[in-house]
Structure 1
Amino acid sequence: MFEVLVYVYENYWQGDACPELPQLGRKLTAVGFEVEEIQAALIWLDGLNLAAQSTQIYVPDSSDELALTANQSLGIQSSHSLRAYSVQEQDYLGAEALGYVHFLETAGVLPPHMREIVLDRAMAASGEPVGLDDLKIIILMVYWSFGEEPDALILDELCDDAQVRTAH
């Protein structure tokens, strides 16, 4: 499935250029991907689209007390909130992946609403527990679903293979 997602990201990096899922499925079949991989990717992408569309961001300024109170009652996270991971998330994602998510959060490039979608889509990935390379693809796809491109340094971090780096 992740090979299909990489293909979609590389060929439709402008999310609005991506065709509807049925047409995308036909294009992926024509390219030569296996039917099972395409179906899994399309189901996963449908969940991503639904999550991205249902996420609405409203950050009130500090003078809007009514909006701040409404956001607190709706459970919208503040920048001071702490995310506790369930045992299932810890087991499926592992310390390395969760540490990477935390790194991106503390670097200020993965806001809470995007983090939650990353975690949701990582848990929705079928098969074995999600490895760090697959998690990076998921993060890129979440950015893609919002029509955003991470800045150059983060994009380099997400696309770089850490095993071939040379330590200085």
Structure 2
Amino acid sequence: MFDILMYLFENYVHSEAEFLVDEDELTKELTRAGFHQAEIIKALSWLERLAELQEAGALYLCNHDQQSFRIYTKDEMEKIDVQCRGFILFLEQIKVLGVESREMVIDRVMELDESALSLEDLKWVILMVLFNAPGHESAYEQMEDLIFEQPDGRLHS
């Protein structure tokens, strides 16, 4: 399922190509690209739920203190390792993620089929959450810089 999400993000969203709204056409294209029907349905449902969360993003603000500390559940800790949780905390500290976007990220991570998530995969989930989230344009740009920015200068051996 994650491969389908990456395919859609890279080919439509991130490339700024016009996104196909017809779910049947999109399903056919994904099938032609070699993805299985069951995984396509899961990925499209994942994206629909993300859109719902983004629309209801303000609800997270009503229920959480902006200075809150996140306690992860056992299931969340099994899926989101220490390195990934540390990265989420880092993004909160530098104001790339707020309480509502952090909760959207965790929600979307927990819905992935993966039993554990790599840091690179987490970065892409964060990028997908921030993309099109109202009021998060600056955070999206910062996250893009964190993912794609190459270090300047030479590495010393």
Cα distance in 1 for residues equivalent to 2:156 and 2:31: 41
In the superposition, the TM-score normalised over structure 1's length comes to 0.73
More contact order relative to length (CA 8 Å, sep ≥ 6): 1
Query: Residue in 2 aligned with 1:99?
Result: 86
C-alpha distance 21-99 of structure 1, shift in aligned 2 (>3 A):
farther
For 1:90-123, what per-residue CA distance to the aligned partner results, in whole angstroms no more than 9, with x for missing partners? Answer: 1221101111111111010111111101000101
Kindly indicate whether the alpha-carbon contact (under 8 Å) linking 2:11 and 2:17 is maintained by their aligned counterparts in 1.
no
The code of the aligned residue for 1:49 comes to A
Instruction: Report the CA distance between 1:4 and its aligned residue.
Output: 1.4
Aligned-pair distance for 1:160?
6.3
Q: Which amino acid aligns with 1:103?
A: F
Distance 1:140 1:110 in 2: 11
Is contact 2:105-2:126 (8 Å) kept? yes
Gaps of 5+ in 1: 60-70
Q: Distance in 1 between matches of 2:100 and 2:26?
A: 27
CA distance in 2, matches of 1:20, 1:53: 21
Distance in 2 between residues matched to 1:161 and 1:122, nearest whole Å:
26
CA RMSD of aligned residues (A): 3.1
TM-score w.r.t. structure 2 length?
0.77
- Aligned ranges 1:80-119 → 2 under 5 Å: 80-119=67-106
> Which residue matches 2:7?
7
Percent sequence identity over matched residues? 31
| Contact 2:12–2:19 (CA under 8 A) maintained in structure 1 | yes
2:45 equivalent among 39, 43, 46: 43
The answer as to whether partners of 2:79 and 2:116 remain within 8 angstroms in 1 is yes
Separation in 1 of the partners of 2:75 and 2:95? 26
Gap regions ≥5 residues in structure 2? none
2:56 matches 1:54: yes
Q: 1:23: which partner in 2? A: 25
Deviations 1:34-72 (A, max 9, x none): 33432221121122122122223798xxxxxxxxxxx4x
Distance across 2 between alignment mates of 1:22 and 1:116: 30
CA-CA distance at 1:154 after TM superposition: 2.5
The 2-side partners of 1:91 and 1:158 are apart by: 24
Q: Which has the larger radius of gyration?
A: 1
